[in-house]
């Protein structure tokens, strides 16, 4: 949705200008504030993905888990889909850890 709001900015501005009241200054100010909020949201999500990915990468390196970069990128991107993304990405992480370390400290698979 954010993509289409940014992509069709001019078309949406024309459509909104027909519907909104004659006070164009107010409508323009509201539109500008909406754009700012959307841009802030996108920047915040990008920063969240970056922080989660870097921290996860460091943790995976600490535990010497295989494929730390690939898994940390997947964990970072999973932030975009709340709840479901974390569950879906946890499955491959757990499987890789299981095959690498086994079920107990003595066992190997």
Does this model's pTM top 0.75? no
Q: Domain for residue 69, yes or no?
A: yes
Q: Domain for residue 88, yes or no?
A: yes
Q: Domain for residue 109, yes or no?
A: no
CB neighbours of 62 closer than 8 A, spacing ≥ 6? none
The percentage of residues in the chain with a pLDDT greater than 70, rounded to a whole number, is 90
Q: Which domain holds residue 27?
A: 2-101
Each residue's pLDDT tens digit, 60-92: 999 999 999 999 999 999 999 989 999 999 999
pLDDT of residue 30: 85
pLDDT of residue 107: 56
Number of domains observed in the structure of the chain: 1
Give the separation between CA 81 and CA 59, rounded to whole angstroms: 22
Query: Is residue 109 over pLDDT 60?
Result: no
């Amino acid at each position: 949705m954010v993509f289409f709001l940014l992509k069709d900015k001019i078309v949406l501005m024309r459509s909104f200008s027909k519907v909104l009241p004659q006070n164009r200054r107010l409508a323009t100010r509201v539109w500008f504030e909406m754009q700012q909020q959307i841009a802030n949201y996108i920047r915040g999500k990008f920063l969240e993905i970056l922080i989660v990915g870097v921290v996860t990468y460091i943790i995976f390196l600490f535990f010497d888990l295989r494929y730390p970069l690939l898994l940390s990128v997947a964990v970072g991107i999973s932030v975009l889909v709340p709840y479901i993304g974390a569950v879906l990405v946890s499955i491959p992480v757990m499987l890789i850890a299981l095959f690498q370390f086994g079920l107990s400290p003595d066992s190997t698979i």
